[in-house]
Amino acid sequence: MAAQTEESDTAREQTKAEQDVDQVRQRAARDQQRLDSGAVTSPKDLENLQREITSLAKRQGDLEDVVLEVMERRESAQERVAELTERVTAVQSKIDDATARRDAAFEQIDGEVATVTKEREVVAGSIPADLLKLYDKLRGQQGGVGAAKLYARSCQGCRQELAITELAEIRKAAPDTVVRCENCRRILVRTSESGL
């Protein structure tokens, strides 16, 4: 935006400088016409007129230099605008690309959430109400994990190895008894890999 402002500022400056040149050129042309017409006869007036024409020619030259200088600045401002516009376009296309990928990821995640939620509902429906209540309570207390696998004598919830006496009790417990970790109180799920 700053580069565009600079470009339009120099464009205005150029117009103004060109108008200045034009004014001086017109005045010089009028003076030259008067001189050529022969209407001015007094030597003093003729001398003044000639002096003015000379001074206007010099002034025109100076003003034309100003125009050239402004044009140079305007050209570099235009180049800068073009370069920055190209960069903006490149960045915008990166943003568009990232936005599209993010939206696609959102859509996929939403789909997964819907599937998992449905699956959970089915599983939760098959679990006794009191056990589900205990599980939900533990889940709330233990960072979203209410039950953990007992794996190689360790609770996979808190990563602690169970004491020998506790393991012995779990070994004796009936398959449908709810056993819990003595350390984190999570429900322990026994498998063939539990190390019992």
Q: Does 24 bind Zn ion (CB under 5 A)?
A: no
Phi, psi of 182 (to 5 degrees): -70, -25
Shortest distance (Å) from residue 181 CB to Zn ion? 3
Q: Which of residues 128-187 bind Zn ion (CB under 5 A)?
A: 155, 157-158, 181, 183-184
Supply φ then ψ for residue 127, to 5 degrees. Answer: -100, 135
Provide the strand spans (E) within the chain: 147-151, 154-155, 179-180, 187-190
Q: Which is nearer to Zn ion, 2 or 131 (CB)?
A: 131
Q: Which helix (H) or strand (E) holds 69?
A: helix 43-125
C-beta of 56 vs 181, nearer to Zn ion: 181
Tell me the closest approach of the beta carbon of residue 123 to Zn ion, in angstroms.
22
Query: Measured from the CB of residue 87, what is the shortest distance to Zn ion in angstroms?
Result: 55
Shortest distance, CB of residue 158 to Zn ion, whole angstroms? 3
Beta strands in 23-177 (DSSP E): 147-151, 154-155
Give the footprint of Zn ion on this chain (CB under 5 A).
155, 157-158, 181, 183-184
